[in-house]
Chain A
Amino acid sequence: MREVSVIGVGMIPFAKYREKTLAEIGWPAVKAAIEDAGVDKKDIEAAYCGSALGGMMSGQRVLKQLGITGLPITNVENACSSSSSAFRQAYIAVAAGVYDVVLVLGVEKLTKFGGGTLPLEKEDFEVTHGLVMPALYGMRARRYMHDHGLTKEQLASVAVKAHKHGAKNEDAQYRNEVTLEEVLGAREIADPFTLLHCCPSGDGASAVVIASAEKAKQFTTKPVRVACSEVNSGKYMTGFRDMTTPEITVRGAKQAYEEAAIGPDDVDVAEVHDAFTIAELLYYEALGFCDKGESAKLLEDGDTSIGGRIPINPSGGLLSKGHPIGATGTAQIVEVVRQLRGQSGNRQVEGAKVGLTHCTGGGISGFDHGACSIHMFSV
């Protein structure tokens, strides 16, 4: 397998673009990534598009706006892991020597569904019986609070940290700081969560251009190396499972660290899947940034804030930057690549050399999650 590098990234601010089509939301991110890479659109040999709810041929609909057509375009759906799974497919193709330059995009328009909770698969037994995503995470949170003594205030402080970071990110959907009292006092969604414990619904797009390390030299003197690429599916379990241990992330992290020959202590910055406050805490532990039961302390000590030992979600994460499902995976990669290039301005993690992105997707009966992707990058 060949070494693969990221040579270009781009995204649009996550927001509610009710008046725009999916194609109109998507193309500016793609154009930005191509310009950032310094490639000609004719250099792109294949494209992979991640979208969970964009409908058929999302990639073609976006790319025709820029005349990027006639090449192999593959559309990938893996819920919240859609574009990170698309990235994995692109990575495999370049690493295997099939292509030298490939485009990956993620695009989503959730405003077409109105508001409220994410529409889930209606054939799923638990969904038909009233399972919604906030309740699934809320149940994880309740059990974790019981097992590990996590307080409501500690849980709410995840959102305070997310917004503190997001306020510095011009691509974030919510750029306001929030207080602990505001988080605790917001409208109830699914206990222990108020509205501010939940990622917002919205629209967005993000894109990445990758190339073989050899080919990358033609375009840039500062390529960002892809250190590992992992996508897993959850394990179907019919009986008891510990909902405070996200097994798919634990398993994926072990594989990712082995593949990259990098340990959690070597990671300088990470973007993790904080769809709900409890998720970020569970992932501190699952990704090995702290021991089981220690996540609240890691947060309280400031270790995961910008300036701390291992800043998590400097972009604001899903909670503040927003979570247009299919666009999230590649947007995490955009953030980490910019961090490793030293382009993150007032939210720069100083001296970051190794970055990690983590994205899980899908509430399906019997699974911790349907899918999970973990990528690592280095300079």
Chain B
Amino acid sequence: MAQTAENIHEKYPLDGAALRLATDGTPTLIGLECADCGTRAFPPAPVCPECMSENVRDFELPDSGSLYTWSVVHVAPKGWNVPYIAGYVDLPQSVRVFAHIVGVDAADLEMDMAVTLTTTVVGEGENGTVESYAFTPAKG
């Protein structure tokens, strides 16, 4: 499904510059890469947290990584679709990303399992459903 800039902003209000969608809907996470010291971080920011350089550029994060840990959240502020699985995903090149884990029964999750980037509906906002990036177990 094609996404215009406007409806990306409306449907993905949480992600801002941290998420890009291709015209076919394929998501890519964007981090910061410092041109001076090489530090990488997520989400993107206008200044390097290591050397304070503002000479930073967007960096396309790998779309697959490993699940460091997770928790099934049953109680959350209004607006979230509970229960949901919250997790930390370690991507190659040493970036850790907080994400919802979807498309899997919590009982089937395993530590350090391979996961891959997707998008999902996470809750309800003023403008309808709220979507965000998420990770799901890699196939095969």
Whether B72 lies near A190 (C-beta < 8 A) is yes
Which residue in chain B gives the minimum CB-CB distance to A139?
Answer: B69
Interface centre among A188, A189, A192, A238 (most CB of B within 10 A): A238
Whether A238 lies near B94 (C-beta < 8 A) is yes
Whether B100 lies near A135 (C-beta < 8 A) is no
Chain B contacts of A366 at CB under 8 A? 41
Whether A143 lies near B72 (C-beta < 8 A) is no
Whether B96 lies near A117 (C-beta < 8 A) is no
Whether A132 lies near B100 (C-beta < 8 A) is no
Whether B76 lies near A132 (C-beta < 8 A) is yes
Q: Which residues of A (322-339) have their CB < 8 Å from a CB of B?
A: none
Chain B contacts of A189 at CB under 8 A? 74-75
Chain A contacts of B111 at CB under 8 A? 142-143, 146
Whether B75 lies near A241 (C-beta < 8 A) is no
Contact partner of B77 (CB less than 8 A), chosen from A117, A138, A146, A243, is A117
Once bound together, how far apart are the Cα atoms of A241 and B94, in whole Å?
10
Whether B98 lies near A142 (C-beta < 8 A) is no
Whether B132 lies near A129 (C-beta < 8 A) is yes
Q: Which residues of B (87-140) have their CB < 8 Å from a CB of A?
A: 87-88, 90, 94-96, 98-100, 106, 111, 122-123, 132
Whether B77 lies near A132 (C-beta < 8 A) is yes
Once bound together, how far apart are the Cα atoms of A244 and B27, in whole Å?
31
A180 CB within 8 Å of chain B: no
Q: How extensive is the interface on chain A, given as a class?
A: 20 to 34
Q: How extensive is the interface on chain B, given as a class?
A: 35 or more
**With A142-B70, A143-B111, A191-B106 given, is the CB distance from A130 to B80 under 8 Å?**
yes
Whether A365 lies near B77 (C-beta < 8 A) is no
Whether B70 lies near A117 (C-beta < 8 A) is no
Whether B71 lies near A240 (C-beta < 8 A) is no
Whether B74 lies near A188 (C-beta < 8 A) is yes
Once bound together, how far apart are the Cα atoms of A135 and B40, in whole Å?
25
Whether A239 lies near B86 (C-beta < 8 A) is no
Once bound together, how far apart are the Cα atoms of A266 and B69, in whole Å?
35
Number of A-B contacts (CB under 8 A): 98
Chain A contacts of B87 at CB under 8 A? 139
Min C-beta distance of B43 to chain A, whole Å: 5
**With A125-B43, A130-B86, A238-B41 given, is the CB distance from A142 to B71 under 8 Å?**
yes
Once bound together, how far apart are the Cα atoms of A14 and B53, in whole Å?
47
Interface centre among A141, A143, A187 (most CB of B within 10 A): A143
**With A129-B99, A139-B69, A146-B111 given, is the CB distance from A238 to B75 under 8 Å?**
no
A128 CB within 8 Å of chain B: yes
A72 CB within 8 Å of chain B: no
Contact partner of B75 (CB less than 8 A), chosen from A128, A134, A140, is A134
Whether B18 lies near A125 (C-beta < 8 A) is yes
Whether A135 lies near B96 (C-beta < 8 A) is no
Whether A129 lies near B76 (C-beta < 8 A) is no
Whether A117 lies near B76 (C-beta < 8 A) is yes
Chain B contacts of A116 at CB under 8 A? 75, 77
Interface readout for A96-124 with B: 1 if CB under 8 Å, 0 if not?
A: 00000000000000000000110100000
Given A190-B75, A192-B71, A239-B94, 4 more contacts at CB 8 Å? A128-B14, A130-B122, A191-B72, A238-B39
Query: What 10 A-B pairs have minimum CB-CB distances, sorted nearest first?
Result: A138-B71, A239-B94, A238-B41, A143-B69, A139-B69, A126-B98, A191-B72, A135-B71, A135-B86, A188-B74
Can you list 7 A-B pairs with a CB-CB distance of less than 8 A? A128-B14, A135-B86, A146-B111, A187-B74, A188-B72, A238-B95, A240-B90
